[in-house]
Amino acid sequence: MSGVDLEPLVVLTGAGISAESGIPTFRGDGGIWEQYRATDLATPASFKRDPDLVWRFYNWRREMVFNCNPNQAHKTLATIENQLSNFMLITQNIDGLHQAAGSRHVLELHGSIWRLRCSACNERWEDRRVPIPEGIPLCSACGSMGRPDVVWFGEALETNVLQSAYQAAAQAKLMLVIGTSAVVHPAAELPLVARSAGARLVEFNVEDTPLTPFVDAVLQGPATQQLEQWWERVRPPA
Ligand code: BJW
Ligand code: ZN
């Protein structure tokens, strides 16, 4: 694939890129939703019904992420960003591992597990404590319950983040789609937006997804290996 137009390069990542860091994906064998029901935990209704349960789930996930490190796929993306001038990374992940690996231009579509927001007012704050000592953290502005600043099912994505993501997708010459089942909207639309605007799509996954029939190339296998090998093949000479 050498000689390919690389820029603007836009990358869309999902839970699969963090799987090799030890963070379980959502769907499929061993996925989080096999053990827990998404509708019991990742919806605004579940937080209203049982905030303690939802916080127990997120504290468990915060602890897990805290104990994990970026893997070679995260690191390769940071390397790629350093070597290109027109690069954007759009992630559905909330784990912060891209930033930990050194990526700078990151759009977090589904928020961050390391940020909280008030369930009543607009207050947002960073909280990296593991564990959070006081049970349910409270908003310092109004005293209401804090919640993870992540996007649950049925909730709108942050408008400016989503707009930036659509804009980046529409300008891409090449989009890499890494480790996502491509079933959750609106994230799943971004590769199609890029494709309609003329971008080439390359999918990195261990299995086929609903996007596979629409991509120009599939690199099947663990993202850590496939991505590094792909970059070795296509990267511009130093
Ligand atoms: C590897 C690998 C390795 C493994 N190497 N690969 C249009 C059609 C149908 C439904 C909808 C629609 N538009 C909206 C909806 C509803 C809904 C939706 O999409 N539902 C579908 C499931 C059907 N969407 C929403 O509700 C969204 N909100 C919305 O649209 O609001 C509208 C609105 C507007 C105005 C006002 C109000 C509302 C919000 C979606 C939020 C998603 N949230 C979650 C939880 C985030 C917080 C948390 O983590 O706790 O986001 S759900 C979960 O899924 C998480 C993920 O980011 C997201 C995507 O999952 P991902 O990353 O693809 O992971 P997996 O597990 O599915 O796949 C992993 C992949 O990796 C697999 O393919 C493996 O093969 C692969 N893999 N190891 C490479 N080593
Ligand atoms: Zn508040």
Q: What is the CA radius of gyration of the chain?
A: 18
Which protein residue has the closest C-alpha to ligand 1 atom 22?
184
Domains of the chain: 1-22+70-110+157-238 (3.40.50.1220), 24-67+114-150 (3.30.1600.10)
Return the structure tokens found at 196.
Answer: 């309609």
**What confidence score (pLDDT) does residue 3 get?**
60
Per-residue pLDDT of the chain (238 residues; tens, 9 = 90+): 546 789 999 999 999 999 999 999 999 888 888 888 887 889 999 999 999 999 999 999 999 999 999 999 999 999 999 999 999 999 999 999 999 999 999 999 999 999 999 999 989 999 999 999 888 999 999 999 999 999 999 999 999 999 999 999 999 999 999 999 999 999 999 999 999 999 999 999 999 999 999 999 999 999 999 999 999 999 998 7
Neighbouring residues of 53: CB distance < 8 A, sequence distance ≥ 6 = 40, 41, 46
Q: Is 110 noted as a catalytic residue in this protein? A: yes
In whole angstroms, how far apart are CA 143 and each of 44, 63, 130, 131? 19, 25, 21, 20
DSSP conformation class of 50: -
Task: Specify the pLDDT at position 30.
Answer: 85
Residue nearest to atom 37 of ligand 1 (CA): 156
- Per-residue three-class SS string for 4-34: CCCCCEEEEECCHHHHCCCCCCCCCCCCHHH
Find the ligand nearest to 148 CA: 1
Characterise 133 by phi-psi region: left (phi > 0), alpha (psi -120 to 50), beta (else). Answer: alpha
> What is the per-residue pLDDT for 15?
98
pLDDT of residue 40: 81
- For 213, list phi and psi in degrees, rounded to 5: -60, -15
Q: What is the pLDDT of residue 238?
A: 78
- Tally of CB atoms within 10 A around 140: 10
Rounded to an integer, what distance in angstroms lies between the CA atom of residue 219 and that of residue 205?
7
pTM: 0.97
Residues with CB under 6 A from ligand 1: 14-16, 19-20, 25-28, 31, 42, 92, 94, 110, 150-156, 179-181, 183-186, 204-207, 209, 222-223
Task: Say if residue 37 is exposed, middle or buried (CB neighbours under 10 Å; 0-12, 13-18, 19+).
Answer: exposed
